[in-house]
Amino acid sequence: MTNHLGASVAVLCGAILLACSSNSPSSSPANSAGASSTGDESAGGAGGPSLADVTYHKHVEPILQRSCQSCHVTGGIAPFPLLTYSQAKAFAGPIAQQTKDRTMPPWLAEDTAECAVPLGWKDDTRLTDLEIATLEAWQVAGMPEGDPSDAPPARELSPELRGVQLELQPTTPFALQPGSDKFRCFVLDPKLTKDTFVNGVFVVPGNDAVVHHVLVFTDPKGKSLEKADATQSYDCFGGVSVDDSQLLTAWAPGGIPMEFPSNIAATLSAGTLLVMQVHYHPHSATDVDSDTTRLQLRFSDTAPEYDAVNVLIGNFRARASNGDGLLPGPDDPASGPAFVIPANARAHTETMQYTIKAADVPAAFAPRLYGVGGHMHYAGVDEKVTLEHSDGSSTCLMQIPRWDFDWQRRYDYDAPIDQLLAVSAGDKFNIRCTYDNTMSNPKVATSLLERGIAAPRAVSLGESTLDEMCLVSITALYPAR
């Protein structure tokens, strides 16, 4: 299928964009982080349990099940599972403290004074004030277990894609070498004999100590095999270099399976190959080993009503003649806009713009925005994405005011398709990325010191970990053909 919106979008394909949506049931807490509460919502108030009766099975387990167990599952991305009473009891103190601090669960898209997203989010794992107070009350009460018959019904849990029908991986493990970042493309053949509809997809990193991110692209003409060596892989710094390719999915730290409703899928034509680009970032010689990253796919038996199209927008190096691209910003040279974050700069911003062209939008249907995600590296601290409409109004699509490289995901809007935001020709995507390039930024300090660098240096746009990016992923829906 044609990558409608992406056909004329300038992107840097060596960058991760979207991480995947949660596999927990759709839920949008009425009083999520940032929402104001009313009345007494301490434990025992507003109908909550008191210290005398709060128990694990009746009060705590439902909270952990909904908001924690997508990651805190055996083999999941979290460092320990939270599936049983004994496991939760062992971590009751950190659970109470980190939920109270709202560092857990790690949901980074938030409404702010400058960004009020008009729709809720699917799979919103944020806790209400009452839930946070309940976890604290349970810890203070001595972590009573209660009656197991009070436990909520068991839910299906897996750190990987549910209902996997096909798993692909490189024919040979990739041998890592110490030194600079490495980009390697692996050609994967799903052996499709007919058009196929991908309804779920997930990337499982083999060596997560060094896998910085993964992008998976389609190769409908099989051109990637011409670049590959005997291992069916090739170096691909800067992009996969395959004509007519389209982004299928991506993975970054914190990413979990992407699953669409039954009427939405990504269509792969018969004979399509997949190119999995893996960015390796060895932190030290001790990380050097081999890697076999896997791609999991699930299919729909019937043709979908809507095709899901993923595109990357941003990472512009210059301003275009129509005013799009990299916009003027602080610390620009006299020659014009430049993406440079000076050493020791705090709250440095870079802004970018892309105007939707008539060729991006079918005449009979305005594409609907299904989901959005952001991407920066270690200096990033805030990313905001706005859609400026051709009539002069604007809609904030997402803001991540506390960017954390270790928790990247795509955020999907919780609304029926006909109520999702539509985009039209002339609308503009505006991306603002804010950076803290000082040693007071823990991510910057750690990344520099692990390479023996004692002080910040100017940062430019690029693909290596010590470079920076300003990128947004858009998942748009088009009527299936």
What are the residues whose beta carbons fall under 8 Å from the beta carbon of 28, sequence distance 6 or more? 120, 121, 122, 124, 414
pLDDT for 288: 59
Is 447 a member of any domain? no
Q: Higher confidence at residue 165 or residue 28?
A: 165
Tell whether the model's pLDDT for residue 67 goes beyond 80: yes
Whether residue 20 has pLDDT greater than 60: no
pLDDT, greater one: 427 or 366: 427
178 in the same domain as 143: no
β-bridge partners, 331: none
Q: Are residues 259 and 173 in the same domain?
A: yes
423 is a domain residue: no
435, part of any domain: no
Task: With cut-offs at 50, 70 and 90, classify the pLDDT of residue 6.
Answer: very low
* Domain co-membership, 275 together with 167: yes
Domain that holds residue 83: 56-150
- Are 189 and 216 found together in one domain? yes
Distance, in Å, from the CA atom of 148 to the CA atom of 141, rounded to the nearest integer, reads: 18
pLDDT for residue 175 is more than 50: yes
* Per-residue pLDDT reduced to its tens digit, 371-428: 999 999 999 999 999 999 989 999 999 999 999 988 888 899 999 999 999 999 999 9
In a domain, 108, yes or no: yes
Q: Which of 204-208, 283-287, 366-370 reaches the highest mean pLDDT?
A: 366-370
Look at residue 279 and tell me if it is in a domain.
yes
**Residue 350 pLDDT > 60:** yes
Q: Residues with Cβ < 8 Å from 451, sequence gap 6 or more? A: 466
Q: What is the tens place of the pLDDT at every residue in 101-129?
A: 999 998 999 999 999 999 999 989 999 99
Domain boundary among 269, 285, 309: 309
Q: Are residues 142 and 174 in the same domain?
A: no
> Are 130 and 247 part of one and the same domain?
no
In a domain, 45, yes or no: no
Single residue among 276, 309, 342 that ends a domain in this structure: 309
CATH of residue 247? 2.60.120.310
Q: Are residues 170 and 284 in the same domain?
A: yes
321 inside domain = no
pLDDT of residue 250: 83
pLDDT band at 321 (very low <50, low <70, confident <90, very high): very high
pLDDT for the residue numbered 48:
63
The predicted structure's pLDDT at residue 425? 92
Q: Of 132, 150, 168, which marks where a domain is finished?
A: 150
pLDDT category at 25 given cuts 50, 70, 90 is very low
Q: Which residue has the higher pLDDT, 469 or 74?
A: 469
pLDDT at 2: 36
Rg (CA), the chain: 23
**pLDDT tens sequence across 208-242:** 778 888 999 999 999 999 999 999 999 998 788 89
Q: Is residue 449 part of a domain?
A: no
Question: Do 169 and 64 share a domain, yes or no?
Answer: no
Q: Given the structure tokens 């809507």, which residue do they identify?
A: 306
Using an 8 Å Cβ cutoff, are 182 and 312 in contact? no
The first and second tokens of residue 43, run together, are 């434990």
202 and 107 together in one domain? no
Confidence of residue 480 (pLDDT cuts 50, 70, 90): confident
For residues 224 and 115, state if they share a domain: no
The number of residues making up the chain comes to 481
146 and 170 in a single domain? The answer is no
Whether 202 and 250 share a structural domain:
yes
Domain count, the chain: 2
State residue 284's pLDDT score: 54
Residue 35's pLDDT band, with cuts at 50, 70 and 90, is very low
